[in-house]
């Protein structure tokens, strides 16, 4: 039979884990600036293309132990007047040389805007110090513009939580972009709108 103290500890742990995944955890940093510790990876995955995209948003996936990384970000090609999602996969070959594979998929301007609104709400609803990280796992960092960022972490990430749904959505978007499947992206718009409503409600108490 479990002791009352152990039961309380397990209950507190489960409540904390659920609470931590309701909001992303705020990350104060400057994107694409040489004086930030992420500059090397930012310049590869984001670069000037992201900096020049109005209302640009992104999700960067990183392993806590380093190595490979990935990024799904929005882009507006002003020359072609084309909205798109860009998916980049970064790793090293056997000789240690950096490799980046890039995929692109055109999307309607309405979908571009909906994704921008979703991530902006999710990031601005984040809470400082809400995530406790371990030494291993995967980090999912969401960016809105160049100076606002928030993160969640697996293995504490729960699939049915707000943040779990957000990561799952972006993983499906990554797969669709990799396959150049714009139809599948459009099928995800109801989930984009649903999650936007969730994070909008989380923002309300902060703004009042």
3-class SS at 135? coil
pLDDT tens, residue by residue, 62-88: 987 777 899 999 999 888 889 999 999
Is the confidence at residue 188, as pLDDT, over 90?
Answer: yes
State the pTM of this model: 0.83
Compute how many other C-beta atoms are within 10 angstroms of the C-beta atom of residue 112.
22
User: Which is more confidently placed, 100 or 156?
Assistant: 100
Q: How far is CA 21 from CA 59, 159, 165, in A?
A: 16, 10, 10
The span from the CA of 60 to the CA of 143, in Å, is: 8
3-class SS at 144? strand
Percent of the chain with pLDDT over 70: 80
User: Which is more confidently placed, 84 or 12?
Assistant: 84
Averaged pLDDT for residues 39-60: 90
């Amino acid at each position: 039979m479990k002791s009352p103290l152990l039961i309380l500890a397990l209950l507190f742990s489960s409540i904390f884990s659920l609470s931590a995944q309701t909001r992303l955890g705020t990350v104060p940093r400057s994107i694409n600036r040489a004086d930030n510790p992420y500059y090397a990876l930012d310049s590869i995955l984001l670069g000037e293309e992201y900096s020049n995209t109005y209302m640009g948003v992104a999700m960067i996936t990183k392993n806590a132990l380093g190595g490979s990384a990935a990024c799904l970000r929005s882009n507006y090609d002003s020359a072609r007047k084309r909205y798109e999602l860009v998916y980049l996969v970064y790793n090293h070959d056997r000789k240690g040389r950096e490799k980046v594979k890039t995929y692109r998929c055109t999307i309607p301007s309405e979908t571009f805007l909906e994704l921008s609104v979703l991530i902006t709400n999710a990031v601005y609803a984040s809470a400082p110090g809400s995530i406790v990280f371990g030494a291993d796992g995967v980090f999912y960092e969401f960016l809105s513009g160049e100076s606002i960022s928030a993160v969640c972490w697996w293995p504490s990430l729960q699939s049915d939580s707000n943040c779990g749904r957000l990561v799952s959505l972006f993983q499906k978007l990554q797969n669709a972009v990799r396959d150049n499947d714009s139809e599948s992206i459009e099928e995800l718009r109801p989930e984009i709108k649903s999650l936007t409503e969730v994070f909008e409600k989380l923002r309300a108490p902060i703004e009042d």
